[in-house]
């Protein structure tokens, strides 16, 4: 008898994560596939209450990897038994936004999604995603590494958006998962020097143990340390993973003339940043945002992971079963000693 329900991790409200029996997805229609999820990472957006609460109750997760267990009519690129990493949104690739490289702004990107979401035992993948952004995993790549494709791809896109290039000095604000990944990747974009700012001792020590130059933002001479590190000029690119106004202002003030401040962490929708537009104009400071990742980013990321240009073993710090998804959520929310927390299903 085919099971009628499956386990899923439900965000019911701030701090209220429940493991419930959830209806199984319907069998895949034409062009669709059904995937048995084996691992799903916890993202910062999963623990951002202002983002999640309006959607509650909702199944969490959008960083899954697993096995294809059923295919719909007409699917020829995938078969039962394929090991895959899933993206949760895809662009149409043909609209004006896509033609100009703004894949994550495409209306199709915004409306496509996995059903019900990544932190469920099974997900049904719509035809658009099957067609454009499911990646087969190499035989020797663990599911949890495959689950890194989506979050690392967001960092790949961020480095492109920040226009990091040969010879740059790159400053990263925040030594969490995204900051560490961007720090690992920046030299592959040509950066000569990378420095990470943070204030939590455990994060500072871990980043230093990975070989990064790290400066404590609470040091009285922090500004002088950054300028000395950057040869007296300032960083060419400042990648900001924090969302508070002091952090934004610090990043803006440290950026060199002609440099780029990239906003990676989302502020609340109603927040307005009082910005020194005089400096933006006369010192030609570029202010950019970055959101999610597109099909080209995920493919590049899979190659980075396969070629071990970044060490996935350093990034995955904690693992929990689906029955412990509440612990995984709270550990990620605490933003302490974790980088990427994985839920195994």
CA distance 225 to 229: 6
The residue written with tokens 């899933």 in the block is 86
pTM: 0.97
Residue 210, Ramachandran bin (φ over 0: left; ψ between -120 and 50: alpha; else beta): alpha
Write down all domains in the chain, each with its CATH number in brackets: 5-153+292-344 (3.90.180.10), 163-289 (3.40.50.720)
CA distance 91 to 1: 37
SS3 state at 64: strand
pLDDT string in tens for the chain (345-residue length): 568 999 999 999 999 999 999 999 999 999 999 999 999 999 999 999 999 999 999 999 999 999 999 999 999 999 999 999 999 999 999 999 999 999 999 999 999 999 999 999 999 999 999 999 999 999 999 999 999 999 999 999 999 999 999 999 999 999 999 999 999 999 999 999 999 999 999 999 999 999 999 999 999 999 999 999 999 989 999 999 999 999 999 999 999 999 999 999 999 999 999 999 999 999 999 999 999 999 999 999 999 999 999 999 999 999 999 999 999 999 999 998 999 999 999
Q: Would you give the DSSP letter of residue 211? A: T
């Amino acid at each position: 008898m085919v099971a009628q329900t499956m386990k899923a991790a439900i965000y019911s409200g701030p701090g209220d994560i429940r493991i419930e029996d959830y209806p199984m997805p319907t069998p895949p229609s034409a062009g669709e596939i059904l995937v048995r999820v084996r691992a799903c990472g916890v993202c910062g957006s999963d623990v951002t209450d202002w983002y999640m609460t309006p959607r509650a109750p909702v199944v969490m997760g959008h960083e899954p990897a697993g096995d294809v267990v059923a295919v719909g009519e007409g699917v020829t690129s995938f078969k039962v038994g394929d090991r895959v990493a899933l993206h949760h949104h895809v662009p149409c690739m043909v609209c004006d936004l896509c033609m100009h490289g703004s894949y994550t702004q495409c209306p199709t990107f915004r409306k496509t999604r996995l059903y019900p979401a990544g932190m469920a035992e099974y997900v049904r993948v719509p035809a658009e995603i099957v067609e454009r952004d499911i990646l087969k995993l190499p035989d020797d790549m663990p599911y949890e590494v495959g689950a890194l494709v989506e979050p690392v791809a967001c960092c790949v896109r961020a480095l492109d958006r920040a226009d990091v290039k040969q010879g740059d000095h790159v400053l990263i604000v925040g030594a969490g998962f995204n900051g560490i990944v961007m720090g690992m990747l920046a030299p592959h974009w040509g950066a000569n020097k990378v420095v990470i700012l943070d204030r939590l001792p455990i994060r500072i020590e871990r980043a230093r143990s990975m070989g990064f130059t790290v400066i404590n933002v609470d040091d009285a001479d922090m500004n002088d340390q950054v300028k000395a590190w950057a040869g007296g000029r300032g960083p060419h690119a400042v990648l900001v993973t924090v969302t508070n106004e002091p952090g934004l202002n610090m990043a803006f003030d440290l950026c060199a003339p002609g440099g780029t401040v990239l906003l990676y962490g989302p502020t609340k929708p109603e927040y307005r940043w009082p910005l020194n537009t005089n400096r933006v104009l006369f010192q030609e400071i570029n202010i950019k945002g970055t959101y999610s990742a597109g099909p080209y980013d995920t493919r590049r990321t899979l190659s980075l992971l396969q070629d071990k240009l970044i060490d996935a073993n350093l990034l995955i710090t904690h693992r929990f079963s689906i029955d412990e998804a509440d612990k995984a959520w709270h550990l990620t929310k605490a933003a302490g000693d974790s980088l990427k927390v994985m839920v195994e299903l």
